[in-house]
Structure 1
């Protein structure tokens, strides 16, 4: 099975519905999504702290 590993190297997204819809769509295409929790990370305006994004 093919998989995608998500990363959040930069800015946080405040639109979690779109992110989750995208993940569900990818899963519907038969892909396994790894590290999906990264879409929920927020530190100030970033997608997590420097340590989390490394």
Structure 2
């Protein structure tokens, strides 16, 4: 499996997708959020350091 996404809802009823990408060749997993804003969809991601 390379990843999964979950639909989440904030307290003010806005929703987003929480995404987790992990594959055996990755040194660390990638965590991302897909949100909808005024300019359309955005993907915000972070990848922790290997330290």
Q: Common fold, TM-score beyond 0.5? A: no
Bigger relative CO (Cα 8 Å, ≥ 6 apart): 1
TM-score, normalised via structure 1 length: 0.22
- Would you tell me which structure has more strand in proportion to its own residues? 2
- Would you tell me which structure has more helix in proportion to its own residues? 1
TM-score, normalised via structure 2 length: 0.22
